[in-house]
Amino acid sequence: MESSGIHEQYMQRCIELARFGFGKTAPNPMVGAVIVHNGKIIGEGYHHTYGEAHAEVNAINAVEDKSLLNNSCLYVNLEPCSHTGKTPPCADLIIQHKIPKVIISNIDPNRLVKGKGIEKLKNAGIEVITEVIKDQGEELNKRFFMYHRKSRPYIILKWAQTADGYIDVERSPAQPKKPTWITNEEARMLVHKWRSEEQSIMVGTNTAFLDNPKLNVRDWPGRQPVRILVDRSLRLPQNLHLFDGSIPTLVFTLKEVEEDENPAVEFVTIPFDEYLPEHILGELYRRQIQSVIIEGGTKLITSFVEANLWDEARVFTGNKYFTNGVVAPVTGKSPSVTEYWKDCKLDIFKREI
């Protein structure tokens, strides 16, 4: 009889494999699969890129002797799909190869699946075990789960602040100044890594005007996130980096805008009322954007904090002092993780959902 420890061991391998798809599978989840025959792994695979073969398909294809499948066990960290999307249903493939046992970490929250894959397997006489290292599976696909359970993207807030709690000196369009660097090159590289892992990145009007950020991934290999700009009255000049056409950019505004000449820039008209965060997230949900990292400024970040619409806050604190300036946002939570670097620290706050 197999022990739960053995199941956990093989499921850990599924999660390790799934992570290879980080930043490349959205809006699909990250999934890894392992096939075991008589205590030996005979095939494994993971979902590489959105639109390509799923983990179960790659694992089955990796098995050289397919006759072993009808006496094997398939481990997969997410319920096999039961519907036709970009690819055929994985549940049907498992049934076709007569795999007698399937071990699963998490049930798929997507309403197109949500237990239907498991039901299809059981109806075919396949033994199914679920919730093996369930919490680890949830953490792996937290963006996917948030999107399907709460109908919104997973929200990460990010900022850098001084030792005395300011994110910037006082600046204005009438008195422009170059941004003051609070952290270091290592922190910037990490931020670019984070950007490559999320589907979108957002800033407010003042941050866009005063910093003229590119909001791209320059210091880390990976995909460029969709850039999102909040500009109520469309007062930003078109010569900013955000309008350079190199990356798709969404501009949320109150004004009605005719189709822009720049095909990479799309203007989205929404109400700018007390429910602004909800309006933005609703539009991102409709566009199948499952994660957003909000990089500034204080007003925009605070609007999401006050609406209780955030999941993580990643806060760098440098060793500089501004004495006065723009006060940093406050989450009202204690950090769950703190890392100390040479000249700054990183606090990560997580909000329980």
Q: Where are the beta strands (DSSP E) in the chain?
A: 32-37, 40-46, 73-78, 101-106, 127-129, 154-161, 166-168, 200-204, 226-230, 249-253, 265-269, 291-294, 312-318, 326-327, 337-340, 344-350
Residue for token pair 């170059």: 178
**Measured CA angle at 260 (ends 256, 266), to 5 deg:** 75
Residue 2 annotated as catalytic: no
**Measured CA angle at 254 (ends 253, 258), to 5 deg:** 75
Please compute, for residue 57, the number of CA atoms within 13 A of its CA located in the half-sphere on the CB side.
12
Q: How many residues does the chain have?
A: 353
Q: Which of 2, 44, 52, 56 is catalytic?
A: 56
Give the C-alpha separation, 25 to 13, whole Å.
18
Is the dihedral angle over the CA atoms 69, 14, 3, 93 positive or is it negative?
Answer: negative
> Rounded to the nearest 10 degrees, how much is the dihedral formed by the CA atoms of 319, 322, 312, 249?
-120
**Measured CA angle at 186 (ends 214, 350), to 5 deg:** 80
> Nearest-CA neighbor of 162 among 316, 30, 303, 284?
316
**Burial tier of 353 (Cβ tally within 10 Å: 0-12, 13-18, 19+):** exposed
User: Radius of gyration of the chain from Cα atoms?
Assistant: 23
Which residues are the active-site residues?
56
